[in-house]
Homo-oligomer: A and B are copies of this chain.
Amino acid sequence: MKNPITFEILKESTDSLARVGVIHTPHGDIQTPSFAVVGTKATVKALTSKQLNDINPEVLLANTYHLYLKPGSEILKMAGGLNKFANWSKPTMTDSGGFQVFSLGKAFGKNISKFTDEGGENEENKRMEKAPFATIGEDGVAFRSHIDGSDHFLTPEKSIEIQHNIGADIIIAFDEPTSPNDPIEYQKEALERTHRWAKRCVEYHKSKPNSEFQGLYGVVQGGKFPDLRKESAEYISSLDFDGFAIGGSYNKNDIGAVVNIVNNILPKDKPRHLLGIGEPLDLFDGVEAGCDTFDCVMPTRNARNGSILTKNGKINITNTKYREDFGPLEEDCECETCTTYTRAYIAHLFHSDELLSNTLTSIHNVHFLVNLVRNIRNSILEGSYDSFKKSFISEYSK
């Protein structure tokens, strides 16, 4: 049987684990490294698919938990899958919903603290800390919907079934994420359960016809502990996955080190996705540590708060000084927003609570991150990665 997802390496760095490649999927190729745009509920917030096509990201990542609760994965199946539902013709991914079950879903019964992001920008992480009750059994997780309080039970098999209904090119095994603050005993317990669930995900997936056109990624966890990360990378590598996702649960400064350990073990010939990472400087670390794709809600979430990514660092467009600034959000940027609107206009939209603010700033921020990773890719291909990185960081951190 032909693999639905194949990975081709075009160039490898001699200084790091960085590589340039192509992931071939049923909906076309993903040129890697690349930044996956997040469309949690099958919509990149405030953007039409036409606007998204103009920005031209390689891949869109939607969320299993959210789509399972609303509109229900059967609706996506009836629509002909995520691509048709969201009017998006290029490759797609869904995560497993594990993270959201523990963070948004008011899982109950067992007192566990969860995943934190020291960056402080991820509201889901913050909520995770506020929902410290989960009933985790060997079979799966009982949780309560964050929308209507209804009770649900998600198992590895159920998560894959939902992801089959949604129909993304790349789907992700159901896992149990932890927090960097969790004690090693719990982290080890969660990791071993994640491994047993991984095996069940592979078995269920491979038994279904969808495995012919949807690739399944296994999730490597293990927190900040090198031994657990090694154990996880080795075990997950031993299963018949089409690629790998690396879960969070480390402190920001550990990303490079932890991910390096993992990617030195994972097989080189399969693609690797780094979950939930999108800060510009972290993306350089992730690429150097051998990751191929990335996703993060940061660009669109920041956009809606007026926080704009520019080559000179973030600016907040709601600041009074931009009221009379008739330049673009970012000098020389080629996105639709920067080529047509001024800072003064966008500041006015924010001060007047106008919906268009969300669209214009999201276009820019998504364009910025997609093109940052695309430029990283090109610099590796051209052999100019080091100077590109140095120059970017020097301007960005000024």
A interface, CB within 8 angstroms of B: 41-43, 45-51, 66, 70-71, 75, 78-79, 85-87, 323-324, 326, 336, 340-342, 344-345, 347-349, 351-352, 354-356, 358-360
Contacts and interface: CB of A to CB of B under 8 A. Distances in A.
A46 B323 contact: no
Contact of A323 (B75, B323, B341, B359): B75
Contacts of A358: 355
Nearest to A66: B352
A134 to B, nearest CB: 24
Contacts of A340: 48-50, 87
B356 A43 contact: yes
Interface centre among A75, A348, A354, A360 (most CB of B within 10 A): A348
Given A75-B344, A324-B75, A345-B85, A354 B41 contact: yes
B46 A356 contact: yes
Contact of A48 (B75, B79, B85, B356): B356
21 contacts: A41-B348, A41-B354, A42-B345, A48-B51, A48-B359, A50-B336, A66-B352, A70-B351, A71-B344, A71-B348, A71-B352, A75-B323, A75-B324, A75-B344, A75-B348, A78-B326, A79-B326, A85-B344, A87-B340, A87-B345, A359-B359
A71 B351 contact: yes
A50 B41 CA distance: 25
Given A70-B348, A71-B344, A85-B345, 14 more contacts: A41-B349, A42-B345, A42-B348, A43-B354, A45-B354, A45-B356, A47-B356, A48-B356, A66-B352, A71-B347, A71-B351, A79-B326, A79-B344, A355-B359
> How many copies of this chain?
2
Given A336-B48, A340-B50, A358-B355, A349 B75 contact: no
Contacts of A354: 41, 43, 45
Nearest to A356: B43
A86 B345 contact: yes
A300 to B, nearest CB: 10
A66 B358 CA distance: 20
A343 to B, nearest CB: 11
Contacts of A42: 345, 348
B345 A79 contact: yes
Contacts of A87: 340-341, 345
Contacts of A49: 340
Contacts of A355: 45-46, 355, 358-359
Nearest to A342: B79
Contacts of A356: 43, 45-48
